[in-house]
Amino acid sequence: MEGGAGALAAALLLTGCAHRDRIVVGSKNFTESDLLGEIVAQQIERRTGLPVARRFHLGGTFVCHQAITAGQIDLYVEYTGTAYTAVLKHAAVADRDSVYRAVARDYAQRFGLVWGEPFGFNNTFAITVRQRDATRYGLRRVSDLARVAPRWKAGFGYEFLERADGFRGLASVYGLRFASPPTAMDLGLTYRALAEGKVDVIAGNSTDGQIEALDLVALEDDRHYFPPYEAAPVTRQATLARHEGLAAALDQLARRISDAEMRRLNALADVEHQDIATVARDWLRSNLP
Amino acid sequence: MTQPLEVEDLGYRLPGTGRQGTGNGTVLVQDVSFTVGAGETVVLLGRSGSGKTTTLKLINRLLEPTSGEVRVAGARAADLPVTRLRRRIGYVIQEVGLFPHLTVERNVGLVPQLDGWPPERIAARVRDLLRLVGLDPDRFARRYPHELSGGQRQRVGVARALAADPPLLLLDEPFGALDPITRVELQHEFAALEGRLGKGMVFVTHDVREGLLLGTRIGLMLQGRLVFLGTPQEFRESEHPECKKFMEAA
Amino acid sequence: MSLWHFYSRNSQEVLGLVGQHLYLVAISTGTAIVIGVPLGVLLTRRPAWRGPVLGVANVFQTVPSLALFGFLIPLPLIGGIGATTAIVALVLYALLPIIRNTYTGITGVDSAVREAGRGMGMTDWQLLTQVELPLGLGVILAGVRVATVVSVGTATIAAAIGAGGLGVYIFRGVAVVDDTLILAGALPAALMALAADGLLGVAERRFAWRAE
């Protein structure tokens, strides 16, 4: 009995140690988040040699937030605007830098989480319609939607429907009154629903690869309802403190990905169905050899 | 006046196992011929596997004859649509087979109802028949089969078979599942009934005493053939080895 | 916010989602009955078909529901986002218990009863409608009960593909980690399943027949 208990304790201790040496990287439940998570994971592995465990495609912003504050993941890529309005529940502002400073400060104080440098692109919500509808009804800006909304059906993912900076605020700021409440579905299906005519307007992501591929067009947010959404790695303070080279490895990714570049990577994964690990590896090889 | 039943060279061969045609299955019944007149009961007697039940089923086409001819009330059985043939034949089986979800009265009146009789005529007929088989209609008409004893159920079975007044009755060991006392009781009642009904009956049994009691003629079957056909007295005195075997067992 | 508070503030939406959910379950179970019972009857008349038909129905049962939705989406006519696809998937799920129980219910009828019926000159149709179906109804209803209860649960997943129903609350609640929302969807769905089970159980017992 004693020998067994001793062996068990040793095993637990060892796995505990291994656990402490391991970085757990999470991601939200859409392609871009998985891609960035994979890029970050591979970057850490290459530069620091630390083992990385991936917990990708978790439920969404709030699931990831809960996971990182609970210590179940060490790091994930978040968007400044999302943190600002959905997590910290501030009213949206348009200035990129003040949003970044606010979230960096609040996250450090309230959650012990450190914001890294943004990757360099802004992935805002893209209120998207079919190209032919945009032409036929002269739709260029979100304000133009108010004209057609009473005859149209909207379709959104669950998070956008629930979030304070999501549908409700959008509808009120732009005066959008749809004939019936929006159809709710898995976010990934909304593009298809739009392309097939099941819905007439969706809230996609401005860096999504599918917008061009499916002959869709994003409308301009002329009333600046949405804050800037700059993507950056968010890491637990404790994790950064424990591993010296980690912060430096993440900083190497700062300002490396433009809007166009992110769109290109998304298209590789979503439209051409390339494997995410491959897309990440190729990108790292070309940009950070 | 046509006979209720005429059977001529009746035969039944199982479908063969060979691919070429139907030539080589086992023969269960062959060259069986007999007639049944009104008021007559022909008992088909024989040991298990002798072909008596098969012969019965060839008459109402639950099995299709592979040779020979059957005529019921003058009409060729093979020419009639099979359901119309069967409506003209009363059929009583050992397990009775009453419909458990119907009352006694609905069970008995089933064939008349299928034939489209008016309800009052059915109701009157049912009452008459129940009385005929010894069941008080007031007590039994509304009961369900599971509320009856084995003997009572078979009485209902007989009543049901008689409902549409068919010229021919086929009975396949109808009292076989009953206890000995009830069996004897029903045998005697049936014997009394036979004369009054004026129908042709074919009665299958392996019980020689029952056969001698109920039959106007006994048809003894052995290995698919009819080896003896005659009155009960002739049967008792017959020299045929199979007859003697049965008499020993009596 | 407590659950009661949530329901009273959103009563119209709640009723709408409950209605959508009932619609999905009712249409799909009804369709499965219309397809499944005749198929089950057919299997009793053509025993050779039993293996293949039950085999195919069984395959649909074993595919996880979300995967089945996913497979159906790209198909023309019956696919796409929305209630149609969900209903098709729910019908496929409901088929196995209904077909199988129809078959069992009918073949479970005492063979003496069937022989007596045939011997009396009942046509196949008369035997089916006046004897086999009434006697097998209890078992058939048991199959309907199983299919319905499963449908209520599976229909919650239909919200992922835009078919509406109580799953909308559940998915929304999961997206923002809100237990009240999740419960707001899960509780009525569970109650619906229990109610279906109870009501159909009563019907089943009412029509069950003791063997003679």
- pLDDT per residue over A181-191, tens digit each? 899 998 888 99
Token pair for B58: 């060839």
- What confidence score (pLDDT) does residue A91 get? 86
Residues 189-248 of B with CB under 8 A from C: none
Check A189 against C81: CB less than 8 A apart.
Answer: yes
CB contact C179 to B (< 8 Å): no
For residue C133, give the chain B residue with the closest CA: B101
Among candidates C117, C118, C209 on the partner chain, residue whose Cβ is nearest the Cβ of B100? C209
Quick check: A93 and A229 in contact, CB under 8 A?
no
* Chain A residues with CB-CB distance to C16 below 8 A: 181
- Which among C16, C161, C175 is the nearest to A158, CB-wise? C175
Share of chain A above pLDDT 70, in %: 93
The band of C61, judged by pLDDT with boundaries at 50, 70 and 90, is confident
Residue C161 has pLDDT above 80, yes or no: yes
pLDDT of residue A58: 86
Residue among C116, C209, C211 minimizing CB distance to B97: C116
For A151, which DSSP code? G
Banded pLDDT at B120 (limits 50, 70, 90): very high
Residues of chain A with C-beta less than 8 angstroms from the C-beta of C161? 185-186, 189
Q: Do A59 and C162 touch (CB under 8 A)?
A: no
Nearest-Cα distance to chain C for A48, in Å, is 33
**Phi, psi dihedrals of residue A196, rounded to the nearest 5°:** -85, -5
Residue type, C147: A
Q: Touching check for A194 and chain C: CB below 8 Å?
A: no
What is the pLDDT at residue A19? 55
**pLDDT at position C207, please?**
86
Q: What is the amino acid identity at position C155?
A: A
Query: Averaged over A36-41, what is the pLDDT?
Result: 96
Per-residue pLDDT band for A21 (boundaries 50, 70, 90) equals confident
Q: Tell me the one-letter amino acid at B115.
A: D
Contact across the interface for B160 and C123, Cβ inside 8 Å: no
Res A160 pLDDT > 50: yes
Look at A29-43, B6-20, B110-124 and tell me which has the smallest mean pLDDT. Answer: B6-20
Phi, psi (rounded to 5 degrees) for A114: -110, 125
pLDDT surpasses 60 at C205: yes
Tell me the C-alpha distance between A253 and A233, whole Å. 10
Given an 8 Å threshold on Cβ–Cβ distance, is A185 in contact with C162? yes
Confidence label for B22 from pLDDT (cuts 50, 70 and 90): low
What pLDDT score does C212 carry?
Answer: 37
Chains touching A (at least 3 CB pairs under 8 A) are C
A275: tokens are 């494997």
A68, pLDDT greater than 90: yes
Residues in chain C: 212
User: What's the pTM value of the predicted model, to 2 decimals?
Assistant: 0.80
Tell me the C-alpha distance between C66 and C63, whole Å. 8
Query: Using beta carbons and an 8 Å cutoff, which residues of C are at the interface with A?
Result: 13, 16, 73, 80-82, 159-162, 164, 168, 171-172, 174-178, 181
Q: Is the pLDDT at A59 greater than 90, yes or no? A: no
Measured between CA atoms, how close is C107 to chain B, in angstroms? 15
Name the pLDDT band for C78 (thresholds 50, 70, 90). Answer: confident
Q: Do C73 and A192 touch (CB under 8 A)?
A: yes
Task: Give, in order, the Cα–Cα distances in Å from A15 to each of A8, A21, A71, A238.
Answer: 11, 10, 16, 19
Task: State the pLDDT confidence band at A6, using cuts at 50, 70 and 90.
Answer: low
* Mean pLDDT, residues C25-39 taken together: 96
How distant is the Cα of A157 from the closest Cα of chain C, in angstroms?
Answer: 9
How far, CA to CA in Å, does C102 sit from each of C54, C90, C133? Answer: 12, 18, 8
Confidence of residue C211 (pLDDT cuts 50, 70, 90): very low
Whether the pLDDT of residue B222 is over 60: the answer is yes
Residue A162: list chain C partners with CB under 8 A.
172, 175-176, 178, 181
Decide if C120 and B93 are in contact by the 8 Å CB cutoff.
no
CB atoms within 10 A of CB A281: 15
Q: Lowest mean pLDDT: which of B126-130, B152-156, C6-10, C192-196?
A: C6-10
Is A62–C175 a contact, with Cβ atoms under 8 angstroms apart? Answer: yes
Report, as an integer, the average pLDDT of A15-22: 60
Average pLDDT rounded to a whole number, residues A38-53 = 94
Q: Do strands B217-222 and B41-45 pair parallel, antiparallel, or not at all (unpaired)?
A: parallel
Q: Could C113 and B98 be called an inter-chain contact, meaning their C-beta atoms sit closer than 8 Å?
A: yes
CA distance B126 to B132: 10
pLDDT for the residue numbered A213: 83
pLDDT tens for A213-263 read: 889 999 999 998 999 999 999 999 999 999 989 999 999 999 999 998 999
Confidence of residue A270 (pLDDT cuts 50, 70, 90): confident
Min Cα–Cα distance to chain B from C138, Å: 12
CB contact under 8 A, A193 and C81: yes
From the list C80, C159, C178, which residue is nearest A198 (CB)? C80
Mean pLDDT calculated for residue range C168-191: 91
R_g (Cα) of chain B, nearest Å: 18
| B97–C contact, CB cutoff 8 A | yes
For A76, how many CA atoms within 13 A lie in the half-sphere containing its CB? 30
Whether residue B100 and residue C135 make contact (CB cut-off 8 A), yes or no, is: yes
Q: Do C115 and B97 touch (CB under 8 A)?
A: yes
Query: Which of these ranges, B100-104, C16-20, C77-81, C104-108, has the smallest mean pLDDT?
Result: C77-81
> A183: part of which helix (H) or strand (E)?
strand A183-184
**pLDDT per residue over C100-139, tens digit each?**
999 999 999 999 999 999 999 999 999 999 999 999 999 9
Does the CA dihedral A273-A276-A277-A279 come out positive or negative?
positive
Q: Is the pLDDT at B20 greater than 90, yes or no?
A: no
In angstroms, the separation between the Cα of residue A56 and the nearest Cα of chain C is: 15
Q: What is the pLDDT of residue A14?
A: 52
Range scoring the smallest mean pLDDT among B135-139, C17-21, C101-105, C170-174:
C170-174
Angle among Cα B228, B229, B230 to the nearest 5 degrees reads 120
What average pLDDT does the segment A87-105 reach? 91
Neighbours of A63 (CB within 10 A): 19
Per the prediction, chain C carries an average pLDDT of 91
What is the CB neighbour count within 10 angstroms for residue C199?
A: 12
Identify the band that residue A65 occupies on the pLDDT scale cut at 50, 70 and 90. Answer: very high
Longest alpha-carbon distance in chain C: 69
pLDDT in tens, B26-57: 899 999 999 999 999 999 999 988 999 999 99
**In this complex, do C172 and A189 lie within 8 Å of one another by their Cβ atoms?**
no
* Whole-number Å distance between alpha carbons of A67 and A234: 12
The full length of chain A comes to: 289
Who's near A36: CB < 8 A, 6+ residues apart? Answer: A27, A77, A119, A231
Say what the pLDDT of residue B4 is. 93
Q: Which residues pair with B204 in a beta bridge?
A: B44, B172
Chain B residue at shortest CA distance from C134: B101
Residue A154 contacts residue A201 (beta carbons within 8 Å): yes
Whole-Å CA distances, A257 to A39, A265, B53: 11, 10, 90
Q: Which of these, C184, C180, C183, C160, lies nearest to C171 by C-alpha position?
A: C160
